[in-house]
């Protein structure tokens, strides 16, 4: 959760990964998400873009989703 944010919810990010396992594109996906807070969405996309998956030299690209859950404490 971004510091200072008082929002909670779930943000789903659709990712496209290259064969080296690095996320090349991450975009917010409303389906499955329970937040519309711009700060949480930006934070989820930033986190997804920094994620690295196992490389797959047999695949040009792969795609999938990452769900981030934010709770208010």
Taking 90 as the threshold, does the pLDDT of residue 73 lie above it?
Answer: no
Per-residue pLDDT tens over the stretch 12-67: 999 999 999 999 999 999 999 999 999 999 999 999 999 999 999 898 899 999 99
Taking 70 as the threshold, does the pLDDT of residue 5 lie above it?
Answer: no
pLDDT band at residue 2 under the 50/70/90 scheme: low
pLDDT at 20: 93
Edge-to-edge strands, sheet with 23-29: 23-29, 9-18, 61-70
**7: how many CB neighbours lie within 10 A of its CB?**
14
Tokens of 51: 């994620």
pLDDT at 3: 56
């Amino acid at each position: 959760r971004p510091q200072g944010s008082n929002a909670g919810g779930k943000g789903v990010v659709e990712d496209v990964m290259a064969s080296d396992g690095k996320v090349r594109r991450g975009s917010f996906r409303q389906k499955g998400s329970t937040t519309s807070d711009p700060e949480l969405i930006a934070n989820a996309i930033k986190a997804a873009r920094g994620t690295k998956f196992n490389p797959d030299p047999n695949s040009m690209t792969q795609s999938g989703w990452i769900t981030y859950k934010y709770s208010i404490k």
